[in-house]
Every structure is written in structure tokens, then in C-alpha cells.
């Protein structure tokens, strides 16, 4: 799971974290609403924050 990599954890660990914060994913790819919920519950991953800051405005 690519999002697990963004957060710097194994995909199984990521699933357990999502379960703990009450995020239930459907099977298959993570949908945009699911991704938004993950970011709402966990915040943006540090790697992503660094990339966003580098985008010229």
C-alpha cells in the first residue's frame, strides 16, 4: 500500500493504525474519500508535507 510507505510504516501496521482510528477501507484501491478521511484522522505524512512545500506557487 503506497500510503503506508508515505507514512513510513509497513502496510500491515498501517492497517492496524487505521483500525484503531476507526477508518475502514473497502477492498481494492483507496478511494479519494477514504484518502481524505485518512489524512483527516492521521494528518498528512511528513514525506508528503515536504513535497507540497517544494511546489512553486
For residue 30, what are the domain limits? 2-54
pLDDT one-digit tens code per residue, 3-56? 999 998 999 999 999 999 999 998 889 999 999 999 999 998 887 666 545 545
**Would you state the pLDDT for residue 10?**
93
Domains: count for the chain: 1
Q: What is the pTM of this model?
A: 0.77
Residue 41: its pLDDT value, please? 94
How far, in Å, are 36, 53, 56, 57 from residue 39 at the CA level? 5, 17, 22, 22
Q: How far apart are CA 6 and CA 15, in angstroms?
A: 13
Kindly state the cell numbers that stand for 2: 503506497
Amino acid at each position: 500500500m503506497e500510503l503506508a510507505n508515505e507514512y513510513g510504516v509497513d502496510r500491515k501496521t498501517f492497517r492496524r493504525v487505521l483500525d484503531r482510528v476507526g477508518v475502514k477501507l473497502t477492498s481494492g484501491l483507496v478511494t479519494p474519500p477514504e484518502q481524505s478521511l485518512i489524512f483527516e484522522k492521521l494528518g498528512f505524512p511528513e514525506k508528503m508535507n515536504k513535497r507540497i512545500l517544494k511546489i512553486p506557487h
